[in-house]
Amino acid sequence: MSDCLFCKIVAKEIPAEIVYETGRALAFRDVNPQAPTHVLVVPKAHHADAAALARADDGLADEVLKAAHEVAVREGVTEGGYRIVFNTGAGAGQTVFHVHAHVLGGRALTWPPG
């Protein structure tokens, strides 16, 4: 999608600190980190949110989830615990409508989130 921020990051038209990449997924650091590790994992194909990604039913959700876990391993946060979050819908705080998993770790994470 030509007007999508994360499509532009995928296309390398907008710079981002990329930490991991697979054939169909890209992981880059969040510009406004909420934890020592805060990485966003996106499918390279445009899907608006987690519901649309689930509906795609082509193994892409699986690849995004596996990439998110691989990021946690590479960031060294698996032992201390980490969180994978898909904010889905504006009411849940989603602001960029290209589905992305937040991978958060490196500090104690409280529950429930706000």
Give the shortest CB-91-to-ligand DGP separation in angstroms. Answer: 12
Rounded-to-integer distance, Cα 20 and Cα 39, Å: 10
Q: Is 28 in the site for ligand DGP (CB under 6 A)?
A: yes
Q: Is 30 in the site for ligand DGP (CB under 6 A)?
A: yes
Q: Is 3 in the site for ligand DGP (CB under 6 A)?
A: no
Rounded-to-integer distance, Cα 40 and Cα 19, Å: 10
Q: Is 93 in the site for ligand DGP (CB under 6 A)?
A: yes
Are 103 and 71 within 8 A, CB to CB?
Answer: yes
With H, G, I as helix, E, B as strand and everything else as coil, classify residue 4.
coil
Give the shortest CB-81-to-ligand DGP separation in angstroms. Answer: 20
Of the residues 20, 82, 87, 105, which one makes contact with ligand DGP according to CB under 6 A: 87
Rounded-to-integer distance, Cα 14 and Cα 88, Å: 24
The neighbouring-strand residues paired with 18 are: 28
Question: Footprint of ligand DGP on this chain (CB under 6 A)?
Answer: 5, 16, 28-32, 40, 87, 93-96
Residues labelled catalytic? 100
